[in-house]
């Protein structure tokens, strides 16, 4: 349940936006916004009851393919809508809408509903509350890599997703010339973010053809994750307006690097000071930061599914392409899962380099924060840090290895006692079950590459 919000406040908010309509949406397990446009009069007449949505949305994959876990048959489920609460306090303005229809609200499944057990935004807030009990506030800065394709969904389907055209076949990391060539697009992206009150830290071209990266400005708590969902949703919309496709798929091209969704994370104490910083410690690492790493390192292999939620996500975890394959950590080491970035009392932080760009920001933050808090509470000591290329080290503890693939990750998550303790048995069963359903669906598929390899000669 959200903090109280008065009807007069809602009236003023609607009037300030000259709102005839508003969009209300919740976030599904894939990180997609699902909602509806509502007449402003209906919002007022229904205040403060919120708007109902079906929890079955949590069992839908991209493209609304069913992901019913075993034990959940559609005929056995209550398919009725659940009440959803509206987060009135954090209204945003959507781009690409007329001003009188641009108002946006996040929603969450209400107490005592089935959907509440599965809602990723609500799940994250429960973990953030645990941090609050320790007098700590998380601060996040999220980075997303993406590919910009000279394709529309129609052209991709017509060619059966083969011979995909990029906007450029040349890799120009930080290339100012290519930044200038695409200055109009990036200007629209900046304006789009400003309208949504999503703060950008930077944007640039990455080390791969047509790969860009946006770093969102650091924000305390859930605001950073809301920013990420709004950005990812509307960056794709912006591309469509230009007859392009922008994808956050973890590894869309077999012969090139995957796309990451790195998370910069620090904790503030009750006085607003950086709890990761100790002026007198080696690399300024406080005990809090030390134990936080210990928790992440211990739990990451069994919670990996929350950071790599799709079968394609595991195509990133290949040695030598800057995607970690173990829960190693190091000082300013970009080959490890956890990179300690030493700095001042303002900038000391961690960079968590495991999540893919396709991941759900709320599940990523819940996983990383929850694991780190376990480390702080239990004073978990991390293994020795790694110097040099992590994937070349042969003497690292076996417990740090990531699952061997999607199926292994699902099984380890299903059997994880810490996952149940942190996120609840219903969520663990549901999330693992939907991933298992996705795996089963792909195991039955016959791909064009299989036909190319086997059809004629087998």
Convert the pLDDT of each residue in 250-285 to its tens digit: 999 988 889 999 999 999 999 999 999 999 999 999
- A 10 A CB-CB count for 416 gives 19
Q: Determine the Cα–Cα distance for residues 430 and 71; give it in Å rounded to an integer.
A: 10
- 188 shares a domain with 250: yes
Structural domain includes residue 59: yes
- Per-residue pLDDT tens for 287-302? 999 999 999 999 999 9
Structural domain includes residue 346: yes
Cis peptide before 138 (omega within 30 of 0): no
Q: Which two tokens stand for residue 303?
A: 């919670």
Q: Is 136 left (phi over 0), alpha (psi -120 to 50) or beta?
A: beta
Cβ–Cβ < 8 Å for 403, 307:
no
- 152 shares a domain with 50: no
If one counts the domains in the chain, the total is: 2
- 215 shares a domain with 136: yes
Q: What CATH number is associated with residue 84?
A: 3.10.20.70
- 207 shares a domain with 62: no
Residue 383 pLDDT level (bands cut at 50, 70, 90) = very high
Q: Which two tokens stand for residue 243?
A: 């007859």
Q: Which two tokens stand for residue 369?
A: 């924060």
Beta-ladder partners of 37:
23
Structural domain includes residue 394: yes
pTM of the model: 0.96
Beta-ladder partners of 220:
139
Q: Which two tokens stand for residue 306?
A: 């929350």
Q: Which domain holds residue 17?
A: 7-115
Which helix H or strand E contains 117, and what residues bound it?
none
- 282 shares a domain with 378: yes
- 162 shares a domain with 106: no
Residue 75 pLDDT level (bands cut at 50, 70, 90) = low
Structural domain includes residue 446: no
> For strand 33-39 and strand 84-86, is the pairing parallel, antiparallel, or unpaired?
unpaired
pLDDT at 388: 75
Structural domain includes residue 221: yes
- 134 shares a domain with 24: no
Q: What CATH number is associated with residue 350?
A: 3.30.590.10
Crossing angle (nearest 10°) for helices 425-443 and 406-414: 160
- A 10 A CB-CB count for 256 gives 17
438-454 average pLDDT score: 93
- Per-residue pLDDT tens for 7-44? 999 999 999 999 999 999 999 999 999 999 999 999 99
Structural domain includes residue 448: no
Nearest to 238, CA basis, from 287, 289, 198, 180: 198
Crossing angle (nearest 10°) for helices 120-133 and 222-241: 150
Q: How far is CA 69 from CA 105, 138, 298, 430, in A?
A: 30, 33, 28, 7
Residue 322 pLDDT level (bands cut at 50, 70, 90) = confident
Torsion angles phi and psi, residue 416, rounded to 5: -85, 115
- Per-residue pLDDT tens for 185-222? 999 999 999 999 999 999 999 989 999 999 999 999 99
Strand, coil or helix: 440: helix
- 402 shares a domain with 279: yes
Domain's final residue, options 63, 87, 115 = 115
Nearest to 261, CA basis, from 297, 228, 296, 221: 228
pLDDT beyond 60 at 76? no
Residue 78 pLDDT level (bands cut at 50, 70, 90) = low
- 96 shares a domain with 28: yes
- 135 shares a domain with 84: no
- 223 shares a domain with 83: no
Cβ–Cβ < 8 Å for 120, 29:
yes
- 195 shares a domain with 77: no
pLDDT beyond 80 at 419? yes
pLDDT beyond 70 at 305? yes
Structural domain includes residue 54: yes
Structural domain includes residue 366: yes
């Amino acid at each position: 349940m959200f903090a109280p919000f008065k009807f007069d406040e809602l009236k003023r908010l609607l009037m300030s936006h000259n709102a005839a309509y508003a969009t209300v949406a919740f976030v599904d397990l894939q990180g997609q916004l699902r909602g509806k446009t509502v007449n402003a009069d209906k919002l007022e007449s229904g205040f403060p009851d919120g708007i109902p949505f079906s929890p079955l949305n949590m069992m839908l994959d991209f493209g609304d393919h069913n992901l019913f876990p075993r034990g959940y048959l559609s005929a056995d489920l209550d398919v009725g809508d659940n009440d959803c609460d509206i987060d009135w306090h954090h209204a945003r303005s959507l781009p690409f809408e007329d001003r009188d229809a641009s108002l946006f609200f996040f929603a969450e499944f209400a107490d005592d509903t089935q959907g509440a057990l599965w809602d990723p935004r609500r799940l994250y807030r429960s973990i953030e509350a645990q941090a609050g009990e320790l007098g700590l506030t998380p601060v996040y800065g999220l980075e997303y890599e993406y590919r910009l394709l000279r394709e529309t969904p129609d052209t991709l389907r017509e060619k059966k997703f083969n011979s995909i055209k990029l906007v450029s076949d040349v890799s120009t990391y930080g290339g100012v010339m290519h930044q200038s060539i695409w200055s109009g697009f990036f200007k629209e992206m900046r304006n789009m973010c400003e309208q949504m009150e999503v703060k950008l830290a930077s944007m640039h071209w990455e080390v791969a053809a047509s790969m860009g990266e946006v770093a969102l400005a650091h924000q305390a708590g859930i605001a950073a994750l809301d920013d990420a969902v709004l950005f990812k949703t509307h960056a794709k919309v912006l591309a469509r307006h230009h007859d392009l496709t922008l994808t956050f798929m973890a590894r869309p091209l077999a012969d090139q690097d995957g796309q990451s969704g790195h998370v910069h994370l620090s904790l503030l104490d009750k006085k607003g000071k950086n709890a990761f910083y100790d002026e007198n410690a080696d690399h300024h690492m406080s005990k809090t930061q030390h134990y936080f790493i210990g928790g992440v390192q211990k739990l990451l292999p069994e919670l990996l599914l929350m950071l790599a939620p799709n079968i394609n996500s595991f195509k990133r975890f290949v040695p030598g392409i800057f995607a970690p394959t173990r829960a190693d950590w190091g000082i300013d080491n970009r080959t490890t899962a956890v990179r300690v970035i030493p700095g001042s009392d303002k900038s000391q932080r961690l960079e968590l380099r495991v999540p893919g760009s396709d991941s759900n920001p709320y599940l990523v933050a819940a996983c990383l924060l929850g694991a780190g808090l376990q480390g702080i509470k239990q004073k978990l000591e991390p293994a020795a840090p790694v110097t040099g290329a992590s994937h070349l080290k042969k003497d690292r503890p076996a417990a740090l290895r990531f699952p061997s693939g999607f199926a292994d990750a699902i099984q380890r998550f299903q059997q994880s006692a810490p996952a149940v303790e942190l996120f609840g048995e219903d969520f663990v069963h549901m999330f693992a079950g939907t991933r298992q359903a996705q795996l089963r669906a792909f195991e039955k598929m016959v791909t064009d590459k299989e036909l190319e390899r086997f059809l004629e000669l087998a």
